[in-house]
Amino acid sequence: MSIRPALAAMPAYIPGRTVAGAIKLASNEVPYPPLPSVLARIADAAAGINRYPDNASTELTQALAARLGVAVEQVRVGCGSVSLCTQLVQAVADADEEVMYAWRSFEAYPIIAAVSGASSIQVPLTAGHVHDLDAMLERITGKTRLIFVCNPNNPTGTVVSRDELVRFLRAVPTDVTVALDEAYCEFVRDVEVPDGLTLLDEFPNLVVLRTFSKAYGLAGLRVGYAVAGDPTVAMAIGQTQVPFSVTTLAQQAALASLEPAAETELLERVDAIAVERERVFARLLDLGYPVPPSQANFVWLPLGAATTDFAAGCEDRRVIVRAFAGAGARVTISTPEENDRFLEAAAELAAS
Ligand code: PMP
């Protein structure tokens, strides 16, 4: 067997664990079941799965363009935004060229860069767990092809403001693509945080990545979208897509989620999570955990060397959190009852 040596050196993607009888706060999912209208649309679509999907997701692309106020040519639907991240790297970076991102950030970035053969440039977050955009600018070289800015950042929940981002984008060379990963944008309540779509006209090298997995509750179906300032980039993302990877069921479920009544209901759930986030955050601070403010559907406990013990202590109490050994634990905001279960565990562990 001949396997690429790069794979041996590659970090493994560790998904949040599911443990029978325990509550799972490890994967930033929403805790609510799919809406009946969405399930009904999936059931209808299932009757046609002897056929291949529409490879261009035409109807969904048109619906998104209309909904977002952009041209159809700027939009590309993908098999989850993680797939769009991959397609983008493959579209812009050749082997030996550089993909930059903050660290710690979404743990798929290093894997995607390594698989595509690009070099990863990881720029440490500030002491406050926020993107260090000035340090990122300093690391740009002639080989830099793509920069991910994850806003809010996974796993820290921290954000960069519109002013900070605009200053950054003005300083990035125009031939470097910036991917603004807004997987959690619907949970943002801080008015200083930009809606990336409003920056596309000024910055043709910007691509906004979003997903139906989080706020829209379709994590299991795999559908997300990219909106590019420059339609050429959207087209290139289409060229690197695995054919037929966005299933008919995923396309139809996303369309059903964009129906006004469904979207209103889904975004009310998001409101409830944003309210719970503030409650959990305040309580964790009370308990003495040095949690940075979060604008996402999770909070970050930067526990350093104590992380693994904390996660094990939570698991003993039937609560599964996402531990990044040596760095911190990320805990998804869920229903009030599940959040209480976590807070009880956190209180016991703080006292022990
Ligand atoms: N970007 C970020 C920052 C994420 O946290 C995630 C999910 N963990 C994704 C992208 C990918 O989401 P999906 O592929 O489900 O759309």
Token pair for 178:
């910036």
Whether residue 7 has pLDDT greater than 90: no
As a whole number, the mean pLDDT across the chain is 96
Residues having CB within 6 Å of any atom of ligand 1? 28, 80-82, 106, 150, 154, 181, 183, 211, 213, 219, 224
Token pair for 341:
């279960």
Taking the centre of ligand 1 as the mean of its atom positions, its distance from the CA of residue 183, in whole angstroms, is 6
Whether residue 3 has pLDDT greater than 90: no
**The dihedral of CA 270, 60, 237, 206: what is its sign?**
negative
Fill in the DSSP letter of residue 33. P
Pocket test for ligand 1, best of 211, 212, 221, 245 (most atoms within 8 A of CB): 211
Per-residue model confidence (pLDDT) at position 66: 98
pLDDT bucket at 16, cuts 50 / 70 / 90: confident
pLDDT bucket at 106, cuts 50 / 70 / 90: very high
Pocket test for ligand 1, best of 83, 186, 213, 216 (most atoms within 8 A of CB): 213
pTM for this one?
Answer: 0.97
- Helix (H) or strand (E) holding 10, with range, is none
pLDDT bucket at 342, cuts 50 / 70 / 90: very high
Q: 10 Å Cβ neighbour count for 24? A: 18
Per-residue model confidence (pLDDT) at position 1: 72
pLDDT bucket at 258, cuts 50 / 70 / 90: very high
Cα separation, 344 vs 297, whole angstroms: 19
Taking the centre of ligand 1 as the mean of its atom positions, its distance from the CA of residue 88, in whole angstroms, is 14
Protein residue closest via CA to atom 1 of ligand 1: 183
pLDDT above 90 as % of the chain = 93
From residue 311, alpha-carbon distances to 26, 320, 322, 346 in Å are 10, 7, 7, 10
Q: Which atom of ligand 1 is nearest to the CA of 28?
A: 8
